[in-house]
Amino acid sequence: MYPLNLNQIMLAEGGSTLRIYADVVSFLLRKGDIMHPDDLLTTLRGQNPLVHCITNYVAMNVAANVVLAAGASPAMVHAPEEIAEFTPICGALTINIGTLSAPWVTSMLAAARAANDTNVPWVLDPVAHFISDYRKTVAQDLLSLRPTILRGNASEILAMAGQAGAGKGADSGDSVETAENAAYAIAKAHGTVVAITGAVDFVTDGKQSARVSGGSEIMPMVTALGCAQTALMGAYAASGPAFEAALASLAHFKVAGNAAAKWATGPGSFQMNFLDALSATQPGDLASVIQS
């Protein structure tokens, strides 16, 4: 019998509301158990997980600072020669295809396979994968390896499901709502949690789903914040079950965005204040932005 920490988690399932009264234990992390997002933040900061981030040149600095500010430890390792030794010792892996090249693709595929072989959770961010056949192939090859979490904007998720979208480069031209059915389909087909980020985020594992509101209209004006969201999602995936990890990560970003917007006068000051807000966010803050 585990000690009890009774939390009421409100989740949406197929449009109806499912009430789950769950026994949540901060140290109980095995897949299938339910943890409240607040417990996940406590666990993340207590464990300070090492997150292997294979991400793009534009995002490296921003992503590393976001992960550090939240309470985890980033490592930007991408050399193919290091993957077999490094990925298995990490708490999680994140793969962002923003600036592709052949050696990086080799590393991405090897890291995803190593993560699967050693039960390391991993997050895929298929940045603008619809802009070239090369990028499409890489994204689908990675998806076939069944990432723990797939995170993207609405246009990216639509295209991953083989549907047409209105994306322009890394920017979405579609609403989150238009991609929700695609997210369900991908989740069911690949056994992955799918997170769509936008004005109101959406996350599903194919059975249950939730939305997260908040943030700031300034956030899309700061480069690589979406990529940094993926890196933070990896930190949360190292700290608990996939659905709850994605949900907590989205909530942490929205709470910090709300706070930073109060202090910022533009994109430059927003980025600085956003890092401070990520660090200042406390367990108990996350529930305020989660919708059933």
Dump the DSSP string for the chain: -PPP-EEEEEEEETTEEEEEEEE--TT---TT----HHHHHHHHHHH--EEEEE--TTTHHHHHHHHHHHT-EEE----HHHHHHHGGGSSEEEEE-SS--HHHHHHHHHHHHHHHHTT--EEEE-TTTTS-HHHHHHHHHHHTT--SEEEEEHHHHHHHTT-----BTTB--S-TGGGHHHHHHHHHHHT-EEEEESSSEEEE-SS-EEEE----TTGGGSTTHHHHHHHHHHHHHTTS-HHHHHHHHHHHHHHHHHHHHHH-SSHHHHHHHHHHHHHH--TTSGGGGEE-
Looking at every residue in the chain, the average pLDDT score rounds to: 86
Q: Does residue 32 fall inside a structural domain?
A: no
Q: Does residue 246 fall inside a structural domain?
A: yes
Q: Does residue 26 fall inside a structural domain?
A: no
Q: Does residue 86 fall inside a structural domain?
A: yes
Report the domain count for the chain: 1
Residue 173: per-residue pLDDT: 58
Residue 210: per-residue pLDDT: 95
pTM: 0.86
Q: Does residue 27 fall inside a structural domain?
A: no
Q: Region 223-234: what's the mean pLDDT?
A: 94
- pLDDT tens-digit series, residues 164-176: 654 455 455 578 9
Give the range of the structural domain holding residue 204, as residue numbers without chain letter.
47-291
Q: For the domain that residue 108 is a member of, what is the CATH number? A: 3.40.1190.20
- pLDDT tens-digit series, residues 260-271: 999 999 999 999
